[in-house]
């Protein structure tokens, strides 16, 4: 898992500005020497640069630090400060270059090692980052920030126990270190231990109530636990603190998506993309909202944009394949599933999606091969069991279909399509009583399912359960959409016949 793309907090410190007093110089104005000679040569420019970094004025900071280094090319602290400005601007390569220079001048500069590690970690160069943090801690064993950053590196490599050990040390050195509390919560959440992670995020927010990232991360934990309202509340707080927080908009949109509030989700994804027009994940997930609204052309447009930004985005290829399949364009769907699998050969969902496309065009052998592969990769994949059951039913293998629908229901006991299609398989075997049990289960979970009412009515008729058949036909008439008018008329006729 890439912690640095999902919000793991790395810190890079600005060297403190030291106020330097100096005696007045009694020289006539026209004879004043240059500023740097009056007040300490390069120091004043470095201090101004550090001050501008603290106010977020990075261009001004760099301009002043450039001047400091023109005056004194061996000024390690100025290189370190300029690197910090570059880090905050996301210019990691420039930061690394400056930190290399700082460390060449002063090989005992612990903060330069720590900041260079931050740049390496953001570039995904975790081993280099860990090496630099080891050096920083060898120089200064009480460097809490370095322990916290090394924990981030360990966590990104899945080395969670080592990460937690480093965070213990960071918090032992500084119990009110908000970033270390945040990172500890983040590690537990990455491990799936949400209830352990949330108290550490609470502590980070107690220390720093304006910690937008902590609200965002706690919201992700709530969403993972199914508390979407709690998640939305925390995302909203993060956005009140930082209205330009694109990830928080995108994450709140995902929570709305989980609540089936598709229009809310689309608005939030739009805000995220206004802030960051190259946010591929926001395009990908907004496409899902459009898919749920069956607005396939809008979904397709967003997926094309996601893939323009990231041509190796397997999930976007998978979803675009799904859109093409929904539009009946299987000659386009299958190549997109192929591309998703080329990028990620263990993408079970892409095998299942391609199998659905193959089965629709009658290539049942290819579909079964893909579904077997999907289940080999992901043995508790309800959708793949369902799709394999569908293929078995389509080829008249009803016993195998019933087994697969049952396996889907073992994974997800509320999987309505699996109950419905298992009932259809029972009907095809003449086992109407078993079919009625499954139709009843559909209606228990989905009381307005018109198709289940209609099919239950026919099954009840087949075994002479006439009052139940009439009641089921009435349920169908009540819940069927207007476009089902011919079937509604048929149901009325059956009721009239059955009640004679």
Position 123 scores a pLDDT of: 87
CB 461 within 8 A of CB 436: no
Helix, strand, coil shares of the chain, percent, nearest 5, are: 75, 0, 25
Listed residue (124, 120, 156, 157) closest to 135, CA to CA:
120
Position 413 scores a pLDDT of: 96
Distance CA 94, CA 477 (A): 69
Distance CA 211, CA 167 (A): 18
> HSE (CB half, 13 Å, CA atoms) of 452?
23
User: How far does Cα 216 stand from its chain's mean position?
Assistant: 12
**Nearest 5 degrees, angle CA 113-CA 208-CA 133?**
15
Position 40 scores a pLDDT of: 59
User: How far does Cα 25 stand from its chain's mean position?
Assistant: 60
Position 458 scores a pLDDT of: 97
Position 25 scores a pLDDT of: 27
The contacts of residue 297 (CB under 8 Å, 6+ apart) are none
Helices marked H in 412-498 — which ranges? 416-428, 432-445, 450-462, 466-479, 485-498
Q: How far apart are the first and last CA of the chain?
A: 67
Position 89 scores a pLDDT of: 86
Distance CA 182, CA 202 (A): 9
Using CB atoms within 10 A of its CB, is residue 37 exposed (0-12), middle (13-18) or buried (19+)? exposed
The tens-digit pLDDT sequence of the chain (500 residues) is 333 334 444 544 332 222 222 222 223 334 444 544 533 578 999 999 999 988 889 999 999 999 999 999 999 999 999 999 998 888 889 999 999 999 999 999 999 999 999 899 888 899 999 999 999 999 999 999 999 999 989 998 999 999 999 999 999 999 999 999 999 999 999 999 999 999 999 999 999 999 999 999 999 999 999 999 999 999 999 999 999 899 999 999 999 999 999 999 999 999 999 999 999 999 999 999 999 999 999 999 999 999 999 999 999 999 999 999 999 999 999 999 999 999 999 999 999 999 999 999 999 999 999 999 999 999 999 999 999 999 999 999 999 999 999 999 999 999 999 999 999 999 999 999 999 999 999 999 999 999 999 999 999 999 999 999 999 999 999 999 999 999 999 999 999 999 98
Q: How would DSSP label each residue in 380-418?
A: T-HHHHHHHHHHHHHTT-HHHHHHHHHHHHHH-TT-HHH
Distance CA 391, CA 278 (A): 40
User: How far does Cα 155 stand from its chain's mean position?
Assistant: 17
The contacts of residue 448 (CB under 8 Å, 6+ apart) are 479
The number of residues in the chain equals: 500
Helices marked H in 140-261 — which ranges? 144-156, 160-173, 178-190, 194-207, 212-224, 228-241, 246-258
CB 83 within 8 A of CB 104: no
Helix or strand holding residue 211 (H, E): none
Distance CA 358, CA 225 (A): 35
User: How far does Cα 250 stand from its chain's mean position?
Assistant: 9
User: How far does Cα 150 stand from its chain's mean position?
Assistant: 23
Distance CA 111, CA 83 (A): 11
> HSE (CB half, 13 Å, CA atoms) of 292?
17
Q: How would DSSP label each residue in 107-145?
A: TT-HHHHHHHHHHHHHTT-HHHHHHHHHHHHHH-TT-HH
Listed residue (418, 417, 419, 453) closest to 437, CA to CA:
419
Backbone angles phi, psi at 146, to 5 degrees: -65, -40
Backbone angles phi, psi at 56, to 5 degrees: 80, 10
C-beta atoms surrounding 211 within 10 Å: 23
């Amino acid at each position: 898992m890439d912690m640095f793309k999902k919000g793991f907090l790395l810190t890079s410190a600005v060297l403190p500005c030291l106020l330097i007093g100096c005696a007045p110089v009694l020289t006539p104005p026209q004879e004043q020497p240059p500023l740097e000679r009056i007040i300490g040569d390069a120091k004043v420019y470095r201090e101004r640069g550090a001050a501008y970094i603290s106010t977020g004025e990075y261009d001004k900071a760099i301009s002043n630090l450039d001047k400091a280094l023109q005056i004194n090319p061996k000024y390690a602290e100025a290189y370190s400060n300029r690197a910090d400005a570059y880090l905050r601007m996301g210019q990691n390569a420039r930061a690394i270059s400056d930190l290399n220079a700082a460390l060449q001048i002063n090989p005992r500069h612990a903060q330069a090692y720590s900041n260079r590690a931050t740049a390496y970690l953001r570039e995904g160069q975790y081993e280099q980052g860990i090496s630099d943090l080891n050096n920083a801690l060898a120089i200064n064993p009480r460097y809490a920030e370095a322990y916290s950053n090394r924990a981030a590196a360990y966590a990104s490599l899945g080395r969670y126990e080592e990460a937690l050990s480093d965070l213990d040390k960071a918090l032992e050195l500084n119990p009110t270190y908000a970033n270390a509390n945040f990172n500890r919560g983040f590690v537990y959440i990455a491990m799936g231990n949400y209830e352990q992670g949330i108290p550490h995020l609470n502590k980070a927010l107690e220390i720093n109530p304006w910690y937008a990232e902590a609200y965002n991360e706690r919201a992700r934990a709530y969403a993972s636990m199914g508390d979407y309202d709690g998640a939305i509340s925390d995302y909203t707080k993060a956005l009140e603190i930082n209205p330009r927080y694109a990830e928080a908009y995108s994450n709140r949109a995902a929570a709305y998506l989980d609540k089936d509030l598709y229009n809310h989700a689309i608005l939030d994804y739009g805000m995220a993309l206004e802030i960051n027009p190259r946010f591929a994940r926001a395009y990908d997930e907004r496409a899902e909202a459009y898919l749920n609204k069956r607005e396939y052309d809008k979904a397709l447009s967003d997926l094309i944009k996601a893939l323009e930004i990231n041509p190796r985005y397997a999930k976007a290829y998978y979803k675009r394949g799904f859109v093409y399949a929904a539009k009946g364009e299987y000659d386009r769907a299958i190549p997109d599933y192929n591309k998703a699998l080329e990028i990620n050969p263990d993408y079970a969902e892409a095998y299942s999606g391609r199998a659905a496309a193959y089965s629709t065009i009658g290539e049942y052998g290819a579909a079964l091969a893909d579904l077997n592969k999907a289940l080999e990769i992901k043995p508790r994949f309800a959708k793949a069991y369902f799709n394999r059951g569908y293929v078995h039913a389509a080829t008249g293998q009803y016993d195998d279909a019933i087994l697969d629908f049952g396996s889907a229901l073992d994974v997800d006991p509320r999987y309505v399509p699996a109950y419905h299609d298992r009932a259809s398989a029972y009907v095809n075997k003449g086992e109407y009583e078993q079919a009625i049990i499954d139709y009843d289960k559909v209606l228990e979970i989905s009381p307005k399912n018109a198709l289940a009412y209609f099919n239950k009515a026919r099954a009840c008729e087949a075994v002479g359960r006439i009052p139940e058949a009439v009641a089921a036909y009435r349920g169908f008439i009540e819940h069927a959409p207007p476009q089902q008018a011919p079937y509604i008329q048929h149901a009325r006729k059956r009721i009239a016949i059955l009640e004679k």
